[in-house]
Structure 1
Amino acid sequence: MNHDHNNASDTAVCSLQSESVCCNLQTTRKLKVSNNKASSQIADCGAQIADTPCNLNTNPDNSRGVEINPDCTQTPSLYERGESPKGEALHLGEKEIINRTLPVVLCLDLGTTTGWAIHSKQGVITSGTISFKNDRWQGGGMRFLKFNRFLDELNVNAGPIGMVFFEEVRRHMGVDAAHAYGGFMAHLTAWCEQQDIAYEGVPVGTIKRHATGKGNANKTMMIDAARNRGHLPSDDNEADALALVYWAIEQRLGEQS
Structure 2
Amino acid sequence: MTAILALDLGTTTGWALSSNGEIRSGSVSFKDTPFDSKDSRFTKFSRWLANQKANFEIEEIVYESVMRHVGVRASHVYGAFMGVLQVFADKYEIPYEGVPVSTIKKSATGKGNASKEDMVKAMEAKGHKVKDDNEADALALLYWRIKNE
In 1, Cα distance between equivalents of 2:34 and 2:76: 18
- Is 2:134 aligned against 1:237? yes
Among residues 27, 30, 41, which one is paired with 1:143 in the alignment? 41
The amino acid of 1:224's aligned partner reads K
The residue correspondences of 1:1-257 to structure 2 (distance < 5 A) are 103-120=2-19, 122-157=20-55, 159-252=56-149
In 1, Cα distance between equivalents of 2:35 and 2:4: 35
In 1, Cα distance between equivalents of 2:12 and 2:41: 11
In 1, Cα distance between equivalents of 2:80 and 2:140: 23
SS in 2 for 1:233: coil
What's the TM-score once normalised by structure 1's chain length? 0.57
| Greater Cα shift, 207-216 or 103-112 | 103-112
The amino acid of 1:141's aligned partner reads D
The amino acid of 1:216's aligned partner reads N
What's the TM-score once normalised by structure 2's chain length? 0.97
Once the two structures are superposed, residues 109-163 of structure 1 have per-residue CA deviations (whole angstroms, 9 ceiling, x without a partner) of 000000000000x210000010000012323331111001000111111x11000
SS in 2 for 1:111: coil
Alignment: residue pair count: 149
Cα displacement (A) at 1:176: 1.3
Percent of aligned positions that are identical:
50
In 2, Cα distance between equivalents of 1:196 and 1:234: 31
Once the two structures are superposed, residues 8-60 of structure 1 have per-residue CA deviations (whole angstroms, 9 ceiling, x without a partner) of xxxxxxxxxxxxxxxxxxxxxxxxxxxxxxxxxxxxxxxxxxxxxxxxxxxxx
In 2, Cα distance between equivalents of 1:141 and 1:236: 23
Which protein is richer in helix relative to its size?
2
Runs of 4+ in 1 over 3 A off after TM superposition: none
The amino acid of 2:93's aligned partner reads D
Unaligned ranges ≥5, structure 1: 1-101, 253-257
In 1, Cα distance between equivalents of 2:123 and 2:47: 27
Which protein is richer in strand relative to its size?
2
Higher RCO (C-alpha 8 Å, min separation 6): 2
Over the aligned positions, Cα root-mean-square deviation in angstroms equals 1.1
The amino acid of 2:18's aligned partner reads H
In 2, Cα distance between equivalents of 1:144 and 1:235: 21
